[in-house]
Amino acid sequence: MAIAGFGLGSFIGGMAKSLDERLKDDMRRTAERSDRVREYHVTRAARKEERFEEEQKELQEVLQNLSSYMDKAGIEIPEGMTKADFAAQLYTTGGGTISSGKQLIADLDEHYKKKGDIKGLIKQASLVTKGKGFGDYINNFVRRPDSMLKIPENLRGGVGFLKDVDITKGIKDETGAMLAREKQPEKFEVSGLGFDRSQMVFAEQYKKEQRATDLAIEKAEADIKKTLADAKIENAFTSSGFLSKIKEDKKALGEARGVQLDANGNINIKSAKEKKIDLSEFQSDVVKMIANTGITATGTFTDKRNISILVSQASVKDDKGNYLIQPKNMPTKAKDLSIGTVYSMRNNKTNESGPHIYLGPGISPIPLY
């Protein structure tokens, strides 16, 4: 019995020691996990705050630049209207984003250099006096990020025996204390002012360029119809079917590359930049995929609407107004040209260089929109 008792005691003692060691190991691993979760979310909150401050500085510069046109508008400014009021309404008219604001400034600068004023662009009756300052509008357009941390359920628990312990307690308070802030002002509506872009000096040039692309699409349609005169085109996509196919394929490619798309298939450029994704390569691959789909489904490009869809995808621009796709240099040999690729070409008729998409031999290259 003594021997049996001794064996049982040793077993119980060994089990207790094993459990104690496991508990200590679980405590250590839980502490490490807690530190990782804390570091990740506190760092993430700090980065959001940094981006917020950077955007506010950018917006301040944009609004101040836009305000400089108040004295050049050539119209009577309502009493009590501040330069900030004018700039904010012009900013809203331009699109209400920092990138669109910068583009509007570039357009106004170009117009002013050639005309010497901006008379005729802004309708006086559309101006609204609010008497607000730049700070009011900056806080209104660029909102402070939410400091509330949303930690997934599967990351809140500990390890092993401590899996039901909430390791996130205190992280939210810690983050809140670190990012101490004043109460965010209530958001208010800012109406845009009447702005006639068609009166801008380069509007006519833009129309000509758009028309040139439309004519090139019609020419490509004619070229393709001539090439496929005797071909069977019963498998050709309709314009709606082609759009659906593009949306489906682009979504699949986006998921594979980590590119976030909205419901309409537009790229979330900000998210892609944060992930350091090469959007030029992504969009180039999208366009090549679309082009090859249209070529493979014989007859798809005998409908100029489908060619327009392709050219529109090749003409997608980033938040600064630049084409996402970087055009390639023309190869020295025609056999090295690749269908669906955007090349930098010279138009023999206008002698102007620019990006064109190549659809195959016998089809005139098409300038981008």
Give tens-digit pLDDT for 258-292: 999 887 788 888 888 888 999 999 999 999 999 99
Give φ, ψ of 314 to 5 degrees: -70, -20
> What H or E segment, with its residue span, contains residue 328?
strand 328-329
Beta bridge partners of 355: 344
How many whole angstroms from its chain centre is CA 1? 78
Distance separating alpha carbons of residues 261 and 270, to the nearest angstrom: 11
| Residue predicted with more confidence, 72 or 167 | 72
Distance separating alpha carbons of residues 122 and 120, to the nearest angstrom: 6
Is the model's pTM score more than 0.75? no
Residue 231 pLDDT more than 80? no
pLDDT band at 1 (very low <50, low <70, confident <90, very high): very low
Look at residue 138 in the predicted model and tell me its pLDDT.
92
pLDDT band at 11 (very low <50, low <70, confident <90, very high): very low
Beta bridge partners of 317: 323
pLDDT band at 252 (very low <50, low <70, confident <90, very high): very high
pLDDT band at 120 (very low <50, low <70, confident <90, very high): confident
Tokens of 350: 């206008």
State the average pLDDT for the chain.
80
Tokens of 197: 């872009």
pLDDT digits (tens, 9 = 90+) for 34-59: 777 677 667 777 777 788 888 899 99
Distance separating alpha carbons of residues 299 and 235, to the nearest angstrom: 7
Task: With beta carbons less than 8 A apart as the criterion, state whether 185 and 139 touch.
Answer: yes
Among 171-185, 233-247, 349-363, which range has the highest average pLDDT? 233-247
pLDDT digits (tens, 9 = 90+) for 290-333: 999 998 888 888 888 889 889 989 988 887 778 899 999 988 88
Tokens of 276: 């350091």
